[in-house]
Copies of this chain bind each other. A is one copy, B any other.
Amino acid sequence: MNATITTQASESQTNNLRATLLYPPTNGDMRPMDMIKVSATSRSTSVAGAIAGVIRDQGHAEVQAIGASAVNQAVKAIAIAHGYLVLDNIDIICVPSFTEVLIDGQERTAVRISVEKR
């Protein structure tokens, strides 16, 4: 489902934070969307900046994390991004779900968190 085009979100300067253009798998809206992949070593403030940037640009961001530490960083980043965006009068909410991803030929369960304007 992931598109082959890869882009960097404006604030994602850390090497462990990647944003990939993809098409949302859950609804019929085929507008390209930024996927923010969070790892255990991602800095939550950097991820927060990336989320805030994508929300300002597109109004909707997708965050993906595999493993407890990465999920924790993702959730903290969303809490921080909430604080950033309140300053722009944007109130964000999120919806977590599970998704299967293929990593090095192995299927892993990732947590996908959809971040949206309320």
Contacts and interface: CB of A to CB of B under 8 A. Distances in A.
Interface string A58-74: 00000000011101100
Nearest to A68: B72
Interface string A72-92: 100110110010000000001
- Counting chain B CB atoms within 10 Å of each CB, the highest count among A67, A71, A75 belongs to A75
A96 B68 contact: no
Report, as a range, how many residues of chain A touch the other chain: 20 to 34
A94 interface: yes
Nearest to A113: B75
Interface string A93-118: 11111100000000000010100101
A106 to B, nearest CB: 19
B68 A82 contact: no
Contacts of A95: 82, 92-94
Interface string A4-46: 0000000000000000000000000000000000000000000
Interface of A: 67-69, 71-72, 75-76, 78-79, 82, 92-98, 111, 113, 116, 118
